[in-house]
Structure 1
Amino acid sequence: MVHIELQDVCKSFKGVPVFQHVNVMIEKGKTYGIMGPNGSGKSVFFKLICGFLKPDTGIVRVDGKEIGLNNRFPDHFGIIIERPGYISNKTGFQNLKELALIKNQIDDQKIRKTMERVGLDPDAKQKVKHYSLGMKQKLALAQAIMEDQQTLILDEPFNALDRTSVDNIRQMLLSFKTEGKTMLITSHNQEDIDILCDHVFEINQYTLQQIK
């Protein structure tokens, strides 16, 4: 079943093309790796899917609905793109609580369990401004999964994590695969892509070419 579709999508910035005539179909319940060097457009691709950017021409659809018309942002997406912003003088739990209040779908216990799952202590009094890069990455992962989002858009989810944390997050993502969640992942580590992804696309010559 097609979940996400890009149809003849073009995107440029100040006349410099990033994508030209991209046609991609993402199936529900599969995990996709998006590869390409820095600056190739991986984050732009994710932002187009999430409605953060509009294509110059072409159409992005999620579950058959065009993104950017009545459906500004897709529902039930958990997203890490670039570095999320947080309230620096609040704790990790307090930050996630603020985000959870937007939809008011989960309780404090769910937030606590999610923090523990990614390797953070929900009772820690440490402010986010004193977090290490790895801790901030875990907090980003927690916000992306805490509401049981069914589609995960994860731009470098293993960035700044130590080996133990990488293994933990890999196992978590593998469990999401068995649950039938749809995931799109970028990683500079080929091993992450090999272990997690059913299909792989590489950005080349302003388009996406399927290599697996």
Structure 2
Amino acid sequence: MIEVSSFSKTIRGHKVLREINLTVRPGEIVGVKGPNGSGKTMLLRAIAGLVYSDAGAIFINGIKLGPGVPYPVNLGLLIETPSFLAHYTGLDNCRLLASIRNTVTVEDIKTILRQVGLDPQDRRPFHKYSLGMKQRLGLAVAFMERPDVVLLDEPTNALDQDGVEMFKSLICKARGCGASIVITSHDDKVLGMVSDRMALVEEGRLIEEKPPMRDSNICCSQSMGGRDE
């Protein structure tokens, strides 16, 4: 579970987040929208434990994030443009990252690469990937270790329609496995289709939070026996 309690952050004299309060339960997707510079990405960085508060706190499964505190759960993270070792293949990049925790096998990695539409046998290095392929690899890395918390910043950037459908499938599967998920996007349609709740961030404030959209949420439809996308 993600709990953000009165979280504020100031950078170079500018208050980028102001008394944010947000709870994301296991098996729940919260979509966050807002204009550029509103604080959406900084909120994800804070939940990921990459920046710490001036005031307030963030708890993951009841453990307060802070300097020297190991992240309490398995985290899947995609913030801004994916960046990997330029001369490694997609498979090799994934294997290198997976070796840190050793929780997934090479076959698991190959499976997630196929799920995102990449060929595990493709010998092209990362620097020769298209923008869409780079985004797909970023999603593969975010999901490959079956994370408990998933934080995605503009996850459908550079994806074609097939890629968007792939993303919907991944996110719904993670939700069904009990992950707590926060997504930022400029695409209100995609957010509306996968989110249980929607939040609006503007000038560092969480100023609106809508109730669950059960009629349009494809993840809810699938969990109740609806047609897969």
Q: Give the TM-score taking structure 2 as reference length.
A: 0.87
Partner of 1:177: 175
Q: Which runs of 5+ in 1 are unaligned?
A: none
Partner of 1:5: 3
Q: Equivalents in 2 of 1:93, 1:127: separation in Å? A: 10
1:22 deviates by 1.7
SS of 2:95's equivalent in the other structure is helix
What amino acid sits opposite 2:209 in the alignment? Q
Q: Deviations over 1:68-93 (max 9, x none)?
A: 15524242110001123211011000
Partner of 2:225: none
Trace 1:46-195 onto structure 2 (pairs within 5 A).
46-195=44-193
Partner of 2:198: 200
What amino acid sits opposite 2:93 in the alignment? N
Partner of 2:210: 211
Q: Equivalents in 2 of 1:62, 1:191: separation in Å? A: 29
What amino acid sits opposite 1:75 in the alignment? V
The answer to whether the Cα contact below 8 Å between 1:51 and 1:74 also exists between their aligned partners in 2 is no
Trace 1:36-55 onto structure 2 (pairs within 5 A).
36-55=34-53
Instruction: Out of 28-37 and 202-211, give the one that drifted further.
Output: 202-211
The answer to whether the Cα contact below 8 Å between 2:24 and 2:181 also exists between their aligned partners in 1 is no
Q: Deviations over 1:79-113 (max 9, x none)?
A: 00112321101100000010011111111101100
Q: Deviations over 1:135-190 (max 9, x none)?
A: 00000001011111122101111110011111122122223223332211112111
What amino acid sits opposite 2:196 in the alignment? D
Aligned pair count reads 210
The answer to whether the Cα contact below 8 Å between 2:32 and 2:199 also exists between their aligned partners in 1 is yes
Q: Which runs of 5+ in 2 are unaligned?
A: 212-229
Q: Percent identity?
A: 32
Q: Equivalents in 2 of 1:205, 1:92: separation in Å? A: 37
Q: Equivalents in 2 of 1:5, 1:42: separation in Å? A: 16
Partner of 1:34: 32
Q: Equivalents in 1 of 2:176, 2:24: separation in Å? A: 17
Q: Equivalents in 1 of 2:17, 2:176: separation in Å? A: 32
The answer to whether the Cα contact below 8 Å between 1:33 and 1:201 also exists between their aligned partners in 2 is yes
- Provide the aligned C-alpha RMSD in A: 1.3
Following TM superposition, the consecutive aligned residue runs of length 4 or more in structure 1 with deviations greater than 6 angstroms are none
The answer to whether the Cα contact below 8 Å between 1:33 and 1:200 also exists between their aligned partners in 2 is yes
